[in-house]
């Protein structure tokens, strides 16, 4: 049993620093693989706290590791700090109003994620010293989660190979274990090349790359009838070939994101998409090149670690919200559709154990959920994708959500950005730090739990070794 009062006193003493750091990263809102200042902010705090820093990890200029202690177990925390494009938004107002139109914003709460994970790592570092516990606590500064799969690039280079477990979290609208599955994916661009010509005088001499892109998209849309239900395919035309309709477009590019519950299913589906691209090229007498941008593996849950994190949640006191926080949450609710709110509670209900489904009725009356949502070990709903999945193939990994936003807040929206530096969001960050630190300390104090978690992971892999979905030679791509 961990000494929770020590955990709480360490975090609370440094909470002003953590909140100030999260605010600074929110203001910076740096995009994937360009998080130079955000990365520096976090690494400097860890260096001041006595951690040994390694920079430019896996050849990524904004990736770093920070270690404290020695020997086993090696318990790690994963931190992110990248923002999203086109999501600039003024803070703590209940309507959409960008700080500067077209600029970036933290629409997924990674300013909280990275800082909260750092707070947990710092807390565990001081706890190990006070209680003279052996082992190593490590923090990973992980860039480029949004559309970049930074952790997969790091995993490809063996960065996580020597850790025993990984712990992380994500800001959300409820407190509880991450009891959902994630989708593996490939992100690939198809660049078609044709031949320009005058679209009126000599259209027969042209070969339209844009026609090829459009025919490819039509073919993929027909493919949807013949995919497994859980698969997802999205695309964006990132180069339409020019602005003049009087020119046969000699080049065009479409970016595809192919998802499925397992990486093998992604690979099989991608091969079919590739065949459709070849067909489109044949129909238009164009050529094309494939540029693999990134991929990530599906997340493997670990129930041994989830049980320890669930126990930590029971130790950490629930947040208490002020009238002002409740009022702001209610104001944000006016911008959230009934469908979004209903969908949120439907997802919560799906996670509840069968004998506790009735809890949903009391939860539906709230705008901020201070409750801890009980979950089960049964297979959860597939959601989006996360590069944490790649880490979970290498070492037992556990995650949680905590309440930082009002119920039903969609990810990647201005509503999430504007709530990101509210006092309620910081209460959620503190909650996550406490839960993660308590979980890690339980593992340090009972190393046999680490062995049990490893055995569970090995049984799930069934002797299937981890293979990074990103081929050698592929380098990270910046936001276009």
Residue 266 lies in a domain: yes
pLDDT tens-place string over residues 90-125: 999 999 999 999 999 999 999 999 999 999 999 999
| 19 in any annotated domain | yes
Q: Indicate if 289 and 398 belong to the same structural domain.
A: no
> Taking phi first (over 0 means left), then psi (-120 to 50 degrees means alpha), and beta for anything else, what does residue 86 get?
left
Residue 368 has pLDDT above 90, yes or no: yes
The neighbour count for residue 201, using CB atoms within 10 Å, is 9
Which pTM was predicted? 0.95
**Overall number of domains in the chain:** 2
- Boundaries of domain holding 42: 4-181+299-461
pLDDT for residue 30:
98
In a shared domain, residues 141 and 205 = no
Q: How confident is the model at residue 378 (pLDDT cuts 50, 70, 90)?
A: confident
Confidence (pLDDT) at 181: 86
Close Cβ partners of 322 (under 8 Å, ≥ 6 residues apart) = 423
pLDDT tens, residue by residue, 411-437: 999 999 999 999 999 999 999 999 999
Residue 57 pLDDT grade (very low, low, confident, very high; cuts 50, 70, 90): very high
- pLDDT(328) > 70: yes
The pLDDT assigned to 191 comes to: 98
Are 173 and 210 contained in the same domain? no
pLDDT at 463 exceeding the cut of 90: no
pLDDT (mean) for 51-73: 97
281/317 same-domain check: no
- pLDDT for 383 equals 78
280 and 342 fall within a common domain: no
**Domain termination residue (choose one: 279, 296, 313):** 296
Q: What is the pLDDT of residue 479?
A: 84
Asked whether residue 480 is assigned to any structural domain, the reply reads no
Of 366 and 477, the one with more pLDDT? 366
Same domain membership, residue 203 and residue 153: no
Provide the pLDDT for residue 106.
98
Mean pLDDT within 14-19: 98
- Long-range contacts, stretch 448-452, CB < 8 angstroms, 24+ apart: 449/304, 449/305, 449/308, 450/73, 450/75, 450/164, 450/165, 450/396, 452/304
Confidence band, pLDDT 50/70/90 cuts, at residue 379: confident
> For residue 1, what pLDDT is reported?
60
Task: Answer for the pair 45, 17: CB distance below 8 angstroms, yes or no.
Answer: yes
Indicate if 175 and 259 belong to the same structural domain: no
Q: What is the mean pLDDT of the chain?
A: 96
Which of 252, 269, 296 is the endpoint of a domain?
A: 296
The set of residues, in sequence order, having a beta carbon less than 8 Å from that of 168 and lying 6+ positions away, is 77, 78, 79, 113, 117, 388, 397, 398, 399, 436
Summarize the confidence of residues 54-75 as an average pLDDT: 97
Give residue 254's pLDDT.
Answer: 98
CATH number of the CATH domain containing 231 = 3.30.70.360
User: Is residue 189 located within the same domain as residue 67?
Assistant: no
| Residue that finishes a domain, picked among 233, 268, 296 | 296
Residues 81 and 104 in one domain: yes
The answer as to whether 477 is a domain residue is no
**Is residue 473 a part of any domain in this protein?**
no
- Mean pLDDT of the 326-339 span: 97
- Can you tell me the distance from the alpha carbon of 402 to that of 434, in angstroms, rounded to the nearest whole number? 11
More confident residue, 382 or 73: 73
Tokens, residue 193:
């090349």
Same domain as 172, residue 44: yes
CATH of the domain at 451: 3.40.630.10
pLDDT digits (tens, 9 = 90+) for 211-261: 999 999 999 999 999 999 999 999 999 999 999 999 999 999 999 999 999
Domain identity same for 318 and 448: yes
Of 1-5, 181-185, 202-206, minimum mean pLDDT range: 1-5
Mean predicted confidence (pLDDT) in 11-18: 98
Residue 395 lies in a domain: yes
466, part of any domain: no
- Residue 102's pLDDT is 96
Q: How confident is the model at residue 375 (pLDDT cuts 50, 70, 90)?
A: confident
d(CA 16, CA 35): 22
Q: How long, in residues, is the chain? A: 480
- Radius of gyration, alpha carbons of the chain: 23
Q: Do residues 321 and 149 lie in contact, with contact meaning Cβ atoms separated by under 8 Å? A: no
Tell whether 226 and 98 lie within a shared domain.
no
Domain assignment present for residue 51? The answer is: yes
């Amino acid at each position: 049993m961990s000494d929770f009062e020590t955990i709480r006193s360490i975090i609370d003493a440094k909470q002003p620093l953590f909140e100030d750091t999260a605010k600074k990263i929110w203001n910076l809102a740096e995009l994937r693989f360009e998080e130079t200042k955000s990365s520096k902010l976090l690494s400097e705090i860890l260096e001041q706290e006595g951690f040994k820093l390694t920079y430019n990890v896996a050849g990524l200029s904004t990736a770093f590791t920070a270690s404290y202690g020695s020997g086993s177990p090696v318990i790690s925390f994963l931190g992110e700090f990248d923002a999203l494009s086109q999501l600039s938004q003024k803070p703590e107002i209940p309507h959409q109003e960008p700080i500067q139109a077209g600029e970036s914003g933290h629409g997924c709460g990674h300013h909280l994620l990275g800082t909260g994970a750092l707070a947990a790592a710092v807390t565990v570092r001081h706890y190990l010293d006070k209680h003279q516990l052996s082992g190593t606590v490590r923090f990973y500064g992980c860039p480029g989660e949004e559309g970049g799969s930074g952790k997969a690039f790091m995993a490809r280079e063996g960065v996580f190979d020597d850790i025993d477990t990984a712990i992380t979290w994500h800001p959300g609208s409820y407190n509880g274990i991450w009891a959902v599955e994630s989708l593996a994916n490939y992100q690939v661009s198809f660049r078609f090349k044709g031949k320009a010509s005058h679209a009126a005088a000599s259209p027969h001499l042209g070969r339209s790359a844009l026609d090829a892109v459009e025919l490819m998209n039509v073919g993929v849309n027909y493919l949807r009838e013949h995919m497994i239900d859980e698969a997802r395919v999205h695309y964006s035309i990132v180069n339409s070939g020019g602005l003049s309709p009087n020119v046969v477009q000699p080049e065009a590019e479409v970016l595809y994101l192919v998802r499925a519950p397992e990486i093998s299913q992604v690979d099989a589906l991608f091969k079919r998409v590739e065949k459709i691209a070849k067909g489109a090229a044949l129909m238009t007498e164009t050529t094309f090149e494939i540029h693999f941008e990134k991929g990530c593996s599906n997340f493997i849950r670990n129930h041994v670690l989830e049980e320890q994190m669930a126990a930590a949640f029971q130790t950490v006191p629930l947040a208490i919200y002020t009238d002002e926080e409740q009022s702001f949450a209610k104001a944000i609710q006016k911008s959230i559709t009934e469908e979004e709110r209903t969908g949120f509670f439907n997802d919560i209900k799906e996670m509840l154990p069968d004998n506790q489904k009735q809890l949903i009725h009391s939860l539906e009356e709230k705008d901020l959920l201070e409750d801890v949502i009980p979950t089960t070990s049964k297979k959860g709903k597939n959601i989006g994708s996360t590069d944490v999945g790649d880490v979970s193939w290498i070492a037992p990994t556990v995650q949680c959500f905590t309440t930082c936003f009002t119920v039903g807040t969609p990810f990647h929206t201005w509503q999430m950005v504007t709530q990101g530096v509210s006092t309620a969001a910081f209460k959620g960050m503190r909650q996550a730090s406490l839960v993660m630190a308590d979980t890690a300390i339980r593992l340090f104090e009972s190393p046999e739990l680490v062995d049990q978690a490893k055995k569970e992971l090995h049984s799930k892999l069934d002797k299937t070794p981890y293979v990074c979905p990103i081929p050698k030679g592929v380098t990270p791509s910046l936001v276009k």
